[in-house]
Chain A
């Protein structure tokens, strides 16, 4: 029996070519288990990182008791399993129990299509470093991640709690609003790559330059939408502590709360991985073509995996950094940013990119570094136009730039002690 199971592993094949069915299946299961474990452990460590980074930014210690802080996630996990589960009166029990699972399942599936390293050659054939290389590519991510909204809405509605209901409704409205901008930002990527498969998009970026330079504004839109989709500050209206206690998971306790928590952090990791793959070259090592060209070697796999993880970790840090930098938006500001600014901006940008691609192809420039450089130049101009000329610091700057100059000068005088509160009120 064991012999039969191991049979596929005994057939030696060309290490640069796809493996046989059996090896493929075993490889898939092994990859899946490894990535799943990394995700679960990573999410646990992220909760610690979040608290440590918060502490660092706020100049305090953070968790430092359980194993000098390192065992805090494990302690939290055990605590969540052991805690009492409460079921509020009049809660719709089937939905109440189902909601955390509905939130958790999409969050843990979306990463399946994200390639995390260059293919690994093994004696049994080449193993692609992606769990499922779907022809629909990142559309799978967009489609599955939007299912997460059901979990949140059902949680909010089934709890029969007013805070939870409001949180759930806000979350759904916010997530669907920003999904449009997110989808449109990816259309720009498609204009350059011509394929939805993430491996093709990474390949295209390795020859033309990273999309963040070629499609800077699409990147901004995608980044902002990613913050809104993952319900992170400054868009964490669904669970705004100061307004809604804990939003949609107010009534949840024990492991059911944990599932929401895991889902939120897993979504954050997936969003970071998606940003990395779409705009930062995925596992591509910058300034070299060496890692993108065959033959595949183990060294390349390890190094590209390192490059990928570095980029993803940077974005995870960025998520936490933003949390302690920007204050929460008001809900109406959030909605008008999504519908009145991001949507028209994305549409206009698609048109501009389409025109530029057409013009450059017409001029006969091959898709390569030169093409990328021209696109980059155009983006610099656009970014300057957008943020300096059109916006003039109204959206992307601190709140004081929305006041007029005299008001700012007056407030500065008050805070520096030159003027008193009495004069201010006068």
Chain B
């Protein structure tokens, strides 16, 4: 038994069971009296005009694409953050600390290079107007 992940599995099972139970509870106590008027999508009282599943603003797709780029960057930064102490130390850490004389710029420098490359893309996206929402 994995002491780390097994509890999450139990919890997941329990929560899923709860969600199903709640939906079922509501479903089996329901008094359904469907009428055509009741089942019309709510549109502030007027009969709905056309279907809701039409084309919508391309901006949403743009945000999704930008998200992927920058989220991958964040995902890349998290392990960097965890190993930052080791990366900025030219010798293996002693009790989790680095001797002051052995501190090096390497870890931060590499991230700065990465950030600059990213920044070029960011400025490009900004100038293209992809971040402008109007």
Contact = CB atoms under 8 A, between A and B. Distances in A.
A108 B10 CA distance: 12
Interface string A287-301: 000000000000000
Interface in A317-345: 331-332, 335-336, 339-340, 343-344
B124 interface: no
A89 B115 contact: no
Given A105-B15, A112-B8, A255 B26 contact: yes
A116 to B, nearest CB: 14
A88 B40 contact: yes
A84 B48 CA distance: 22
B111 A354 contact: yes
A350 B77 contact: yes
Interface residues of A, number: 89
A86 B67 contact: no
A80 B18 contact: no
Given A105-B15, A350-B77, A357-B84, A176 B39 contact: no
Contacts of A90: 41, 51
B73 to A, nearest CB: 8
Nearest to A194: B85
A249 B39 CA distance: 15
Contact of A84 (B7, B25, B30, B105): B30
Interface string A353-372: 01101100111101100000
B60 A254 contact: no
A28 B10 contact: yes
Given A85-B30, A186-B78, A195-B82, A36 B14 contact: yes
Interface stretch (A53-61, A161-169, A373-381, A386-394): A161-169
Contacts of B8: 109, 112, 131-132, 134, 140
A179 B71 CA distance: 8
Contacts of A283: none
B108 A358 contact: yes
Interface string B45-64: 00010011100100110011
Contacts of B52: 159-162, 164-165
The SS class assigned to the B binding surface is helix
Contacts of B41: 88-90, 159-162, 251
B133 A332 contact: yes
B32 A85 contact: yes
Given A105-B16, A109-B12, A259-B22, A196 B53 contact: no
B67 A179 contact: yes
A385 interface: no
A84 B18 CA distance: 20
B37 to A, nearest CB: 10
A52 B95 CA distance: 52
Given A134-B5, A139-B78, A259-B19, A191 B84 contact: yes
Interface residues of B, number: 77
B131 A190 contact: no
B103 A358 contact: yes
A410 to B, nearest CB: 29
B131 A340 contact: yes
B4 A133 contact: yes
Interface in A64-116: 80-90, 97, 100-101, 104-105, 108-109, 112
Contacts of A355: 108
Contact of A173 (B16, B60, B107): B60
Nearest to A367: B97
Contact of A108 (B15, B25, B103): B15
Nearest to A107: B15
Interface string A114-155: 000000000000000001111100011000000000000000
B3 to A, nearest CB: 6
Contacts of B12: 105, 109
A41 interface: no
A24 B3 contact: yes
Contacts of A350: 77, 111
Nearest to B88: A358
Contact of B131 (A100, A133, A159, A339): A339
Nearest to B56: A169
B82 A84 contact: no
B42 A251 contact: yes
Given A180-B70, A194-B83, A366-B97, 6 more contacts: A25-B1, A101-B16, A132-B4, A180-B71, A191-B84, A256-B26
Interface of B: 1, 3-8, 10-12, 14-16, 18-20, 22-23, 25-27, 29-34, 38-44, 48, 51-53, 56, 59-60, 63-64, 66-67, 70-71, 74-75, 77-78, 80-85, 88, 96-98, 100, 103, 105, 107-108, 111-112, 115, 118-119, 122, 126, 131-134
Interface of A: 21, 24-25, 28-29, 32, 36, 80-90, 97, 100-101, 104-105, 108-109, 112, 131-135, 139-140, 157, 159-166, 169, 172-173, 176-177, 179-180, 183-184, 186-191, 194-196, 245, 250-251, 254-256, 258-259, 331-332, 335-336, 339-340, 343-344, 347, 350-351, 354-355, 357-358, 361-364, 366-367
